[in-house]
Structure formats: C-alpha cells, structure tokens
Amino acid sequence: PHGGGSAEARLRLPDPDLTPFAAYGRTKNMNAMFGYELARRVKGITVNAMHPGIIGGTGLGRNARGALKKLGEELAETAPGPEVGADTAVWLATASEVDGETGGFYVNRRRVRTAEHTRDRERCGRLWRESAQLVGSFEGW
C-alpha cells in the first residue's frame, strides 16, 4: 500500500498474467482500498486496515526463484512471528486511543498514508462494486 503493487483495482479472475508476487502487491492495495470504501459506506462501526509487517513462516516466498527465493528464505529465518504480526490488529480492535477512528491504514500501531492510487474514491468504489458482483451483494452497505 505504500507504492508497491499495481495501481490496477480491477478484479480480473482468472488473470494468467498475474504472478504470485504481483498478486501479493495487488491484494495488499485492495485491502486498503476496500477498507477506505467500507469506512465511507458504514456508520456506527470502526473500520481500519493494517499491514502486519514481514512475518516469518507465512510461506510468502514459496513461489519465488533465484535471489528473491534466497531473500525469502533468509527473511523467514529472521522475521518476527505471528504474535508480532497480530499486534496492530489486536491493538486496533481493543485500544481506547483509536476508539472512533475510522478509515485509516496502520503499520506498527501508527496511522500511515498509503499510495495515492489506493485512496482514489473512484477506484475504491469500482473495487467495491466488482467485489459485490463476485460474492453476490453487500446488501445494506
């Protein structure tokens, strides 16, 4: 969400040109975009998205090759575990200091500004509509 990944918000499935690494970046962007759109559409609940950081043991680099695969293996050995990755999500759900804050994106308990294309209202709305078509509906939202 900080510039990595495609600015494309379309859900083209299947997409034969989508590599695992590009899919990761695209879905990270879509997570932020969906959160922004959900926060605009609903009132009375808090909606925030977050990035857990690089977490070991997730298998993120399992499809990588060459130097990228080696980097992934090294990160898997040294990166923090799931409890560190879950910290910001648990904090967002329970901390009084963010009570009532909505429509944000957080990294390490800090609200950050994501890439401009992830905040584009038209793209976020299009992602929402295409998601609704794929799953049926978000009736009432």
Q: Of residues 2, 18, 24, 76, which has the active-site annotation? A: 24
Q: How far is CA 60 from CA 13, 71, 78, 114, 125, in A?
A: 21, 11, 14, 22, 29
Tell me the per-residue pLDDT of 121-139, one tens digit each, with 9 for 90 and over: 999 999 999 999 888 876 7
What is the enclosing helix (H) or strand (E) of 135?
helix 121-135
Q: Can you give the pTM of this predicted structure?
A: 0.79
pLDDT in the model for residue 55:
81
Q: DSSP readout, 69-82?
A: HHHHHHHHHHS--H
Q: How far is CA 131 from CA 5, 33, 75, in A?
A: 19, 12, 33
Start-to-end Cα distance in the chain:
24
Q: What residue type is assigned to position 45 of the chain?
A: I
pLDDT in the model for residue 49:
97
Tell me the per-residue pLDDT of 46-93, one tens digit each, with 9 for 90 and over: 999 999 988 877 776 777 788 888 887 787 778 888 889 899 999 999
24 is catalytic: yes
